[in-house]
DNA sequence: TGCACGATGAAC
DNA sequence: TTCATCGTGCAC
């Protein structure tokens, strides 16, 4: 299994989002290695994308999005759930890919279909915010034999406030995967 | 210093 | 469809 290098993330966000499907998210903590196969993601393109947190400008919370690619942006939503994003493109571009669902591969307990549940099952919390994904304990890797995937495009979830950006097909998932959060 | 509002999930 | 629950951002 080969760990994705920083250059993987330093590319067009939609391309990164699509190529993250089928990859393995790996998190080592408390002596356990947890692995999940990414089956559903959403792309957040930058400050011009009204659904992206970075569209509000550089703040204490969103500064990670404005940082260099290949880092984790983990934030609390609705006061109780964590969501994990992968920062993409060059520093200052402020784009990211939200991981919405994974398929359990190793040491993953509980449901994983949804950004909050995914973080809970993978033991990801806000302490991992700004963590480098080109690291030994928290990273994304390409599985040995990656088979071709059929990718479905859909509008993003829960961003109705983003006007015209709410309709754009920036959500991607693996067709027929039983682990996606919503069809 | 106060307050409105979520990139959700679960219950009803 | 409704609600739990609180950090964040921005208005005052």
pLDDT digits (tens, 9 = 90+) for A23-41: 999 999 988 999 999 999 9
**Which bases along strand C come within 7 Å of a protein CB atom?**
4-10
pLDDT in tens, A135-147: 999 999 999 887 8
Instruction: Return the CATH number at A153.
Output: 3.10.300.10
The model carries a pTM of 0.96
Residue nearest to nucleotide C10 (CA to C1'): A56
Average pLDDT, chain A: 96
Residue A74 belongs to some domain of the structure: yes
In degrees to the nearest 10, what's the CA dihedral of A165, A56, A122, A151? Answer: 20
Helix (H, G, I), strand (E, B) or coil at A114: coil
Nucleotide with smallest C1' distance to residue A85 CA: B7
Residue A29 belongs to some domain of the structure: yes
Residues 6+ apart with CB under 8 A from A165: A49, A50, A51, A159
Residue nearest to nucleotide C6 (CA to C1'): A79
A149, A107 Cβ separation under 8 angstroms: no
Cα–Cα distances in angstroms (integers) from residue A178 to residues A16, A53, A61, A113, A174, in the given order: 22, 29, 33, 9, 9
Q: How many structural domains are present in chain A?
A: 1
Residue numbers of the domain that contains A136: 2-174
For A23, the token pair is 């990859």
């Amino acid at each position: 299994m080969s760990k994705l290098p920083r250059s993987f993330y330093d590319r067009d966000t939609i391309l990164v989002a699509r190529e993250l499907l089928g990859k393995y998210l790996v998190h080592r903590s408390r002596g356990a290695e947890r692995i999940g196969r990414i089956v559903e993601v959403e792309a957040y393109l930058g400050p011009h994308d009204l659904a992206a947190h970075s569209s509000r400008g550089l703040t204490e919370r969103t500064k990670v999005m404005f940082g260099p690619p290949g880092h984790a942006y983990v934030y609390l939503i609705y006061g109780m759930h964590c969501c994990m994003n992968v920062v993409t493109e060059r520093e200052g571009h402020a784009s990211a890919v939200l991981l919405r669902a994974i398929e359990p591969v190793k040491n993953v307990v509980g449901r994983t279909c949804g950004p909050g549940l995914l973080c809970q099952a993978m033991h990801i919390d806000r302490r991992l915010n700004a963590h480098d994904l080109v690291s030994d304990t928290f990273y994304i890797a390409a599985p040995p034999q990656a088979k071709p995937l059929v990718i479905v495009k859909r509008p993003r979830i829960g961003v109705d406030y983003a006007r015209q950006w709410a309709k754009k097909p920036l959500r991607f998932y693996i067709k027929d995967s039983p682990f996606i959060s919503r069809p």
